[in-house]
A and B are shown apart, each in its own frame.
Chain A
Amino acid sequence: MDFYRAQDQARRLTGRLVLLFGAAVLTLVILTNVLVGAALVFVQQPTSVGMVTLVDRLATIDATTWLIVTLGVVGTITLACLFKVAQLNGGGPALAESLGGRRVAADSTDPAERRLLNVVEEMALAAGTSVPPVYLLPEPGINAFAAGFGSGDAVIGVNQGTIDALTRDELQGVVAHEFSHLLNGDTRINLRLIALLHGILFIGLVGRLLLRGSGSGHRSGRRSGSNGAPVALFGVGLMIIGFGGTFFGNLIKSAVSRQREYLADGAAVQFTRNPDGIANALKKIGGATAGSLMTRAGAAEASHMYFANGISHWLGGLMATHPPLDDRIRAIQPRWDGNYIATTAGGFAVGSATAATAAATTSRFADGPIDRSTTIDVLETEVADSAALVGNPSQKSQDMAEAVLESTTRKLRDAAHQAFDARALLYAMLLSDDAELREEQIRTIARLDSDRTAQAALRLLPDLDGIDDLHRLTLAQTAMPALKEGSKAQARSLLRTLTELIKADRQIALFEWVLHRLMVQELRPHFEKPEPPKWEYGTLSQVADACSELLTALATRGNPQARSQEAAFRAGADALGLELRFEPQPDPNLTRLSAAMTTLRKLTPLAKPRVLKAAAETVLADELVTVDEGALLQGVSAALDCPLPPAIYAELKR
């Protein structure tokens, strides 16, 4: 299963979900109508209501009543959904906070937290995405979740029990599993699912309220009349209907979720190249006293987002949001002996469980149909296959990410992990070489941000010397969690200052353009509500102009001569299968490229890999990849929401 198919399937699942949800609402409407009808009949003539007379009498109730009841039910469900949608508008961070999560500071010095942050960072860089913020949940069970509508508001949440009980390899397996959910678009459906199910669940809640209300009303009602009984009955009826709705809602949720879990487990094995990490994590859940259960009150509605079952249910397997532990372990380690690993609470586990058992295991995922190691090998000889790399971090790209970070100084890396210093780092990246211009930029920082930040940026400047644009971009992606700390006002001022710095020299360099796009995409959701993506264009021919603009920019960047520019452009156009005309641009216009990227973002996700592939073909036409081209490619892949792992740079540098 590749990234695009997984994402596409996720979207189709969403479609099916809406259908099922519609059916559930319809059922609820009909049932409530019958219930209200019955209640009305009961009120009008409490005695001797047989089954036949009930039906007869239902027929006499006029249409307005039906209409009102229907509107009432639909309205209530809509209201409940909207309420939840509003609550989830904050995306990943809002959900993590509502589950009691505490944000782990990017510069935390606690060893267990530090290890967790490092694992998340490695995984994100290997996948070519920006590093998401991490939330820690004060729960003893071994569990984790990922949430968010897009990369800007994506978060990873991990239980305290998880970092206490798991070794680094196991933690890596769990984090890789969660990354798969983020990359495959599962988190988006999951957030919507919460909102929809809340609507259905709400009917039952109203029933319960009515029952309670009529109970107290009954006591005073003895004097004024006997209105309490039907209301109570009505409440019970609503509750039963509500329970039915919840039941089917949960059934939908569980069925969808279980299917995605196997996929995520498989992906975790691919990402980490280590089946034992995740398998042992699962075995520890089986062996732990707290298992994977979540104790917080609101945990149930997010149950389908966790790493393992967070909620136990009396119906067991049918309602489980995750496949049975044993099945999941066997899927990874077919020869598993059935023994769980006992864990002791407290004191985080150190050491590695890999080496000894790794050789003995043959796993379905390790060499099964969804393994992509072959793709990565192919890639070593042909980068044009870059599209297959998207959403598929490999060991190789992890090594690359590490190498990129290693090549920067300790001071820069530390700065990237600290809220204040990370801002200064970004500013420093944009400072001009020209002394006069730099002076002006420093004044801009002091004016829009603060004098302190300006001074800090100047202090970081010498360390940035000799670090190329690609490494700078990677540093910026590493800095993302630190940049997302702080208040909305601070995020807004950061973006404004960056824009002003870029504009200082009256022209936009390529690196500046890419960095700006990345920052807007990542930071905007931090102070504005995340926007759901829109797919306006279904075919490549609809966006031919934008494609042409993109390929022209790439061809012009990488080739000095007009002839080779055209050849590079052709290579890309052929990959797209479009008849495009090459119009050389002496001065590449990044404003037009921006407009083109905005258009391409609205392209249907299944067509995006072809654009990326064409871009790679253009870059590779002369078998030489410049840093400029690499940076542009990274900007393009980020803009298209197709994160490109850094393994590709191995080829770029050659």
Chain B
Amino acid sequence: MEFLIFLAIIAGLAFYVVAIYNRLVALKNRYENAFAQIEVQLKRRYDLIPNLIETAKGYLSHERDTLEAVVNARNQALAGLESLKGNLGSADAMKELASAEGLLQGALSKLNVVVEAYPDLKANENMMQLSEELTSTENRVAFARQAFNDQVMEYNTYRQSFPPTVFAGMFGHPSDAQLLQFEDSAEIQAAPKVSF
């Protein structure tokens, strides 16, 4: 009799532990999927920048430094994104991408200021289209980033709560996931408003 009660309790506990395991896996998958969305949009942005430079080059022959700064920042951000792939848990890689993104933002806003001084370039149809696309990609990155951070928060909160925290390490979830926060977010918040 006691044996059966014991059995029932064991069964209940087993269910509970399995449920914790499954939930951890599901939440992790979800934030990883959310990151894939950011990745798609960031890549799109990195692909747009060379076109932008190509268009601007003809007009901005005296602004070599500004253009180069954008290209360099873009390459660095792209490298940051590549190194983060399959390595989402790493705080360093996440920071690296964030700071590279901050750098790129800075370089792009500098370029915007420069473009203001060249009305011909500003009125260039190609340029207008590119800047429009950059803006909308910017918005999408912001949205995807918010979704990602929400999912990470949900994962972290669950992982830290009791009793999942007891099992999390055992089940291959030893540490919190990293939020993606862009450095100097105030500057980036303002970025889409700048028009060419």
The chain A residues found within 8 Å of chain B, CB to CB, are 64-65, 68-69, 72, 75-76, 79-80, 83, 86-87, 94, 97-98, 102-103, 105, 107, 202, 206, 418-421, 423, 450-453, 455-456, 485-490
Contacts and interface: CB of A to CB of B under 8 A. Distances in A.
Nearest to A65: B1
B8 A72 contact: yes
A69 B5 CA distance: 9
A72 B19 contact: no
A110 B172 CA distance: 33
B146 A79 contact: no
B143 A420 contact: yes
Contact of A421 (B29, B30, B136, B144): B136
Contacts of A68: 1, 4-5
B33 A456 contact: no
Contacts of A423: 143
Interface in B162-194: 189, 192-193
A469 to B, nearest CB: 26
B15 A105 contact: no
Interface in B82-120: none
A485 B147 contact: yes
A79 B11 contact: yes
Contacts of B189: 451
Given A79-B11, A80-B15, A455-B192, A419 B4 contact: no
B15 A490 contact: no
Nearest to B16: A83
Contacts of A107: 40
Given A76-B11, A86-B19, A489 B150 contact: yes
A98 B22 contact: yes
A487 B15 contact: no
Given A419-B37, A488-B150, A98 B8 contact: no
Contacts of B29: 97
B121 interface: no
Contacts, number: 88
Given A418-B140, A456-B136, A456-B139, A487 B1 contact: no
Given A86-B19, A418-B140, A452-B139, A97 B192 contact: no
B147 A486 contact: yes
Contact of B140 (A79, A98, A419): A419
Interface in B24-75: 26, 29-30, 33-34, 36-37, 40
B131 interface: no
Contacts of B19: 83, 86-87
Nearest to B22: A87
5 contacts: A72-B5, A79-B11, A83-B19, A452-B142, A455-B192
Nearest to B193: A455
Interface centre among A94, A452, A455, A488 (most CB of B within 10 A): A452
Contacts of A487: 34, 146-147, 150-151, 154
A47 B122 CA distance: 99
Nearest to B14: A209
Contacts of B26: 94, 97-98
A94 B30 CA distance: 10
Given A87-B22, A456-B136, A485-B37, A72 B4 contact: yes
A86 B12 CA distance: 14
Given A94-B26, A105-B36, A490-B147, 13 more contacts: A64-B1, A97-B26, A206-B7, A420-B139, A420-B140, A420-B142, A452-B192, A453-B139, A455-B192, A485-B147, A486-B150, A487-B147, A487-B154
